[in-house]
């Protein structure tokens, strides 16, 4: 542990993590932003360009209530968007006008987060960074929506191959056993595709066919509205686990994988530690909603930490609930890019490409594609972007 890191506690060395990114193309810039949240937020920047490295403390004292208020406003915007989708479909108002209003408000909040949270020294560097470069956030908190920070050029989730690097926030949460670690290159050998209960039939069918014709010769086991005990048995030998299901925060953190909302049958946050996933596996928790939006801007991200502790190399989740049809569409785009052989894509690149497919907005395009471009902002990646 070097002097720069001696004042923080983390599970793995952020400088080592930056070195691991050397597997990516050498011309792509790579950076690690190590963040520690106390009364003020301190930042350590690691970079493949040593001249821009440094340590800074945000001079502003953290007002978590203010940040929560920003997050609540973002939740409310997406809640209203979900409620307005049917009105747009009925052509009660213009899709183009809706988009301009939504993005103007989101940009305003994202810009405020940028100025409140990011020290001026880092802000000056960020605006010069190459779009499409790697940015990993090593952080001890879950309440900052990094993907929605807007730096005047774009949202960070769009500008960069942005991933979150799991780190302990409290010494009392240290795992009781060592985290399983994979060795060498990880090849997808078996997929478990979970389709949760109470998903509309048409979308459930699409979700069950998510991997058709994508990964040749890779067996896929489909679990549709099955309880957690069945999921636990199915995980043996599986290195990709995908969920299409409703996510809940109250009264418990839960992914509804079963046919009902029973606490007994579904995957609760505390249950993850009892599962056995292959070391180095990919987990994609596509938390969605059918018609009732659930504010989840920071809550469901805890699943990322729990799956990381038991050996997942990368976890993809959402910082808000996404309507089912858009969640399935985004997953289709993502896996199509990930399975591409020409050229091969990493998880980080596939996420960026999937967002780009639906990023451009045109008034005459279908409502489904338009709104997927909005909801794609809510996807985040924990762990290794080079999977």
In this prediction, residue 309 carries a pLDDT of 83
Residues pairing with 254 in the sheet = 248, 268
Give the model confidence (pLDDT) of 349-365 as tens digits: 999 999 888 554 433 44
Which is more confidently placed, 295 or 152?
152
182-383 CATH choice from 3.40.50.920, 3.40.50.1460, 1.10.10.60, 3.20.20.140: 3.40.50.1460
CA distance 190 to 194: 13
| pLDDT tier for residue 225 given thresholds of 50, 70 and 90 | very high
Give alpha helix (H) positions in the chain.
14-20, 64-89, 95-117, 120-126, 156-159, 201-208, 228-234, 302-309, 324-338, 347-357, 367-375
Lowest mean pLDDT of 30-39, 194-203, 204-213, name the range.
30-39
Could you state, in order of their start, the residue ranges of all structural domains in the chain? 3-62+105-171, 182-383
In this prediction, residue 335 carries a pLDDT of 95
Residue 25 clears pLDDT 70, i.e. is over it: no
User: Residues near 371 by Cβ (< 8 Å), separated by ≥ 6?
Assistant: 81, 85, 323, 326
Report the pLDDT averaged over residues 108-128. Answer: 94
Highest-confidence segment of 89-98, 99-108, 189-198, 208-217: 189-198
Q: Tokens 């989708």 identify what position?
A: 85
Report the pLDDT averaged over residues 119-145. Answer: 89
β pairing state of 282-289 and 240-248: parallel
Give the model confidence (pLDDT) of 44-102 as tens digits: 999 988 999 999 999 888 777 777 788 778 878 887 877 776 565 555 556 667 777 88
CA distance 346 to 132: 13
Is the Cβ–Cβ distance between 53 and 43 less than 8 Å?
A: no
Q: What are phi and psi of 289, to 5 degrees?
A: -140, 145
In this prediction, residue 94 carries a pLDDT of 60
Q: Hey, what long-range contacts does 200-204 have (CB within 8 A, 24 or more apart)?
A: 200/290, 200/324, 203/244, 203/324, 203/325, 203/328, 204/244
Q: What is the mean pLDDT of the chain?
A: 81
Residue 305 clears pLDDT 50, i.e. is over it: yes
DSSP three-state, residue 197: coil
């Amino acid at each position: 542990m070097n002097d720069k890191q001696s004042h923080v506690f983390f599970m793995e060395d952020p400088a080592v993590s930056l070195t691991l990114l050397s597997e990516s193309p050498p011309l792509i810039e790579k950076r690690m932003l190590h963040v520690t949240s106390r009364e003020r937020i301190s930042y350590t920047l690691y970079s493949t360009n040593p001249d821009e490295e440094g340590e800074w403390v945000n001079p502003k004292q953290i007002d978590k209530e203010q940040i929560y208020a920003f997050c609540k406003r973002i939740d409310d915007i997406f809640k209203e968007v979900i409620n307005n989708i049917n009105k747009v479909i009925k052509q009660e108002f213009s899709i183009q006008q809706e988009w301009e209003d939504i993005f103007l408000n989101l940009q305003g909040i994202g810009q405020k987060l940028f100025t409140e949270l990011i020290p001026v020294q880092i802000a000056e560097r960020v605006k010069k960074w190459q779009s499409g470069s790697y940015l990993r956030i090593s952080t001890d908190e879950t309440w900052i929506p990094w993907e929605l920070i807007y730096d005047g050029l774009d949202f960070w989730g769009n500008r960069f191959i942005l991933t979150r690097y799991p780190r302990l926030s409290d010494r009392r949460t240290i795992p009781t056993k060592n985290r399983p670690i994979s060795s060498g290159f990880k090849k997808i050998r078996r997929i478990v595709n979970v389709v949760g209960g109470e998903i509309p039939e048409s979308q459930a069918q699409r979700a069950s066919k998510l991997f058709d014709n994508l990964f040749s010769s890779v067996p896929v086991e489909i679990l549709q509205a099955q309880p957690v005990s069945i999921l636990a048995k199915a995980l043996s030998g599986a290195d990709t686990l995908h969920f299409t299901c409703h996510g809940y925060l109250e009264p418990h953190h839960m992914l509804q994988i079963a046919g009902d909302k029973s606490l007994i049958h579904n995957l609760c946050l505390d249950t993850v530690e009892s599962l056995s996933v292959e070391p180095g596996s990919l987990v994609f928790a596509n938390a969605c909603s059918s018609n009732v939006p659930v504010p989840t801007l920071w809550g469901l991200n805890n699943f990322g930490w729990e799956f990381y502790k038991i050996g997942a190399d990368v976890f993809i989740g959402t910082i808000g609930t996404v309507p089912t049809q858009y969640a399935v569409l985004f997953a289709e785009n993502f896996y199509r890019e990930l399975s591409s052989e020409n050229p091969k894509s990493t998880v980080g690149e596939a996420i960026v490409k999937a967002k780009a497919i639906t990023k451009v907005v045109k008034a005459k395009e279908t409502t489904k594609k338009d709104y997927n471009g909005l909801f794609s902002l809510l996807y985040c990646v924990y762990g290794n972007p080079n999977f």
